[in-house]
Amino acid sequence: MRGIRKTLASQRQEPITLSTMSTTPIRVAVTGAAGQISYSLLFRIASGAMFGPEQPVILQMIEVPFEKPMKALEGVAMELEDCAFPLLKGMVVTGDAKIGFKDANWCLLVGAKPRGPGMERADLLKDNGKIFIEQGQIIDAVAADNARVAVVGNPANTNCMIAASQAKRLTPDRFTAMVRLDQNRAQAQLANKAGVDLTEVESIFIYGNHSPTMFPSFAHAKIGGKPAMEVITDTEWLKGPFCETVGKRGAAIIAARGASSAASAANALVDHVHDLMIPGKIHSVAVKSNGAYGFDPEVWAGMPVKTTAPGAYEVISGFEMCDFCKSKIASTNKELVEERDAVKSMLG
């Protein structure tokens, strides 16, 4: 296990630009840093994709404190060094979450226990619950005052709820879970079906759980400025194959690639955080529902949000829900409530 490495800035020969010198680095803590998502994610963050080309960063990479993952993480840090990213001003490589989350401005909770063969979903919820109780407590104790948390490790919505429940200093709105991969998948599917450029598809939002029960709400999407349902008139496709393809895309990737989504998941997390830092951005984020759109007030559910200030957002309310939409939301809400009930004893 290692402590804080000397910052890369001190090893660099190239001049540092004025804008970089006057900007305090954002400290980004990433768990599961030796995993496959992080192998793409860390390099995107260090290159400026998440916080922009002027914003320096310090990566605080956290793994489980065992020899194999820590050694692998050392290798990742070596590769980051070898990229000579001008924005990367320091790295922390650690198996100790108290060191890794110290003063972090963003805590990206990617690491989680995978579902093993024959493992029940309830066991997965409980095993991961323990990880997120601990991480929620540590983040609350040691992260920066302006800390924001984004949960990717599955079951992401419920893990996020558990972590948030442990926090006394950081309010629940600081804790979000990622449904952006589902939004991006839905956007691509609609563009393919309509035969238009991806950028013509707007306002496609994900409601509910990051699981096959999620609802990609085609009813409010726009294609080329028109309602998607006017452009794609095959309503049966929208209600059936479209929702199923988006909901089961993760399994389809595993079947094709022999491994779960990694680069696209990392890309979605870059989008998630990037859009939460830019006021005016409208996107799907899993947040504490507070009863919006008929969700149980205590669950974390995907829904449309508008970023109001860096790291702050408001839920966009007022989308009219048809009976089909209401039934989809009810079914994903039911699953979220069941997950919450399974971990009730773990909520702080």
Q: Does 153 bind ligand NAX (CB under 6 A)?
A: yes
Q: Does 57 bind ligand NAX (CB under 6 A)?
A: no
Residue 86 or 136: which CB sits closer to ligand NAX? Answer: 136
CA atoms within 13 A on the CB side of 83: 18
Give the amino acid at 209: N
Q: For residue 22, with 0-12 CB atoms within 10 Å meaning exposed, 13-18 middle and 19 or more buried, which class applies?
A: exposed
Cβ 235 to ligand NAX, closest distance in Å? Answer: 27
Cβ 316 to ligand NAX, closest distance in Å? Answer: 21
The DSSP H or E segment spanning 341 is helix 323-342
- Distance CA(213)–CA(211), nearest Å, equals 5
Helix (H, G, I), strand (E, B) or coil at 32: coil
Catalytic status, residue 210: yes
Contacting residue, 77, 125, 149, 178, with ligand NAX by CB under 6 A: 178
Cβ 26 to ligand NAX, closest distance in Å? Answer: 20
Here's the x/- map for ligand NAX, 235-254, by CB under 6 A: it reads as ---------------x----
Residue 254 or 322: which CB sits closer to ligand NAX? Answer: 254
Among 48, 124, 31, 142, smallest CA distance to 86 is for: 48
- Distance CA(11)–CA(217), nearest Å, equals 49
Q: Does 261 bind ligand NAX (CB under 6 A)?
A: yes
- Distance CA(154)–CA(50), nearest Å, equals 22
Q: Segment near ligand NAX (CB under 6 A), from 29-37, 241-249, 296-304, 320-328?
A: 29-37
Helix (H, G, I), strand (E, B) or coil at 86: coil
Q: Give, in order, the Cα–Cα distances in Å from 328 to each of 27, 34, 179, 240.
A: 38, 36, 16, 11
The DSSP H or E segment spanning 117 is none
Contacting residue, 52, 75, 114, 297, with ligand NAX by CB under 6 A: 114
Contacting residue, 108, 124, 125, 156, with ligand NAX by CB under 6 A: 156
Q: Segment near ligand NAX (CB under 6 A), from 32-40, 42-50, 75-83, 221-229?
A: 32-40
Contacting residue, 8, 131, 160, 206, with ligand NAX by CB under 6 A: 131
Q: Does 181 bind ligand NAX (CB under 6 A)?
A: yes
Q: Does 62 bind ligand NAX (CB under 6 A)?
A: yes
Here's the x/- map for ligand NAX, 69-108, by CB under 6 A: it reads as x---------------------------------------
Q: Segment near ligand NAX (CB under 6 A), from 28-36, 79-87, 226-234, 320-328?
A: 28-36
CB-based contact 110:153 (threshold 8 Å):
yes
How does DSSP assign 270-310, residue by residue? HHHHHHHSSTT-EEEEEEE-TTGGG--TTSEEEEEEEEEET
Using CB under 6 A, list all residues that contact ligand NAX. 31-32, 34-38, 62-64, 69, 110-114, 131, 152-154, 156, 178, 181, 210, 250, 260-262, 265
